[in-house]
Structures are given as structure tokens and as C-alpha cells.
Amino acid sequence: MCRYLEVVEKTATVLAVAERMRQCKVGSILVGTPGEPGRAKSVEGIVTETDLVRRVVAREMPVDKLAVDRVMTVPPLTIEAERSMLDANQLMEQHRVRHLCVTENGQITGVFSVRDMVRYFLPQDSGPRSELDDVHRPLGVLMRRYIETIDERETMLEAARRMADRHIGALLVTGGSDKGPLGIVTESNLVRDVLPYNLGP
């Protein structure tokens, strides 16, 4: 887990939170009372890229005036530090989230994300990775075959609404019938490349 906690006051604007996510390259920020750098005195909620896309961009909310406590998830989903990565994965799947707050002695001391799980398994040639059959299975078996697409001429607003409606985090960008895929747009793109600059969706 990441033990350095990014924390903002609940009165912080969505614009400020998006700027912080972009600068720190994180997909979630805790909402509460900041303590010493990397620590929280108290935590009331969590706001993620998914929250910002579905509750702000898709609804055309004003990012420069909207307080983060209006869109945060309360209470944050937690898991004890002594629980396993498999437990964390099952909890994420059950609640359809990508971030968990990790507790030790009843206090939130870290955040665990899907990205943390990927970073853990990626560089290892042996050990835990070799014990998980799914890690070695071909992508063709594991991937989702129905691909959600969006035309390059559509707006960020339409992309956000489509992601929110279908509960997905990315869309393949196409350029019409005579062109192949041009790229991909993700929740991270919307949060880090649109919201911090207060661009109209």
C-alpha cells in the first residue's frame, strides 16, 4: 500500500483536487483533516477519478465552485492491513471500486489501489506471481471482448456520460468507418487533462 496519504479539507474545490491528482499522479485523495505531511488527523471520505468523472464531468458540475465533500464517497471502504491482497481484490470486485483505505489499529494509514497490485506483480519473475495461474493465462482468455468506443468528434462530456452509464473506466477512440482505432480515453485523462484546466467538457 501507499503510506503517504494525500489529504484535502472537505471545503476544497473539485478543481483543486483534480490539480492535486495531476501533480501527485494519484487516482484518489482522502477528504478530512490533514496532519503532518503524508498523514491524516481524520478522514471523512475519499474522492477518486471515478467519482469526479461520474459525479462532476458527466453532470456538468462547476469544478471551480463545487466543494469536494459534495462528490466524495462516504464512508471510505476500508480493509485491515493484515488482510491479504486476495481479500483486497475480492472486496474491490464486490464493491466495484479500485481504491481501499487500509487501517491499522482502527486508523487509516494507507491506500491500496489496483495500480499498487499491478506494480507488485509486474517486476517479479518468481514468488507470488508464479503461484497465480491467472497471471500467466493468455490475455485472449481474460480480456473483455465487447469494446466500448467513441468517435473522435464527440465531446469529453459524452465520454464521461458513456463511462458512467456503462460503469467502465476507458473508451476506445475511433475515427469513422474508414479508420481504425485512433487511441483510448480514460478516466485519468478526463481528470488530469481536463478538470485541472477548467476546460468545458
Read off the pLDDT band of 147 (50, 70, 90): confident
Q: How far apart are CA 3 and CA 109, in angstroms?
A: 6
111-125 average pLDDT score: 74
Q: How far apart are CA 38 and CA 17, in angstroms?
A: 16
C-alpha cell at 138: 493468455
pLDDT of residue 129: 47
119-147 average pLDDT score: 61
Residue 130 pLDDT exceeds 60: no
CA dihedral for 91, 96, 101, 106, sign (positive or negative): negative
pTM score, whole prediction: 0.81
179-199 average pLDDT score: 88
- pLDDT, tens only, 61-75: 988 999 999 999 999
Q: H or E stretch including 115?
A: helix 114-121
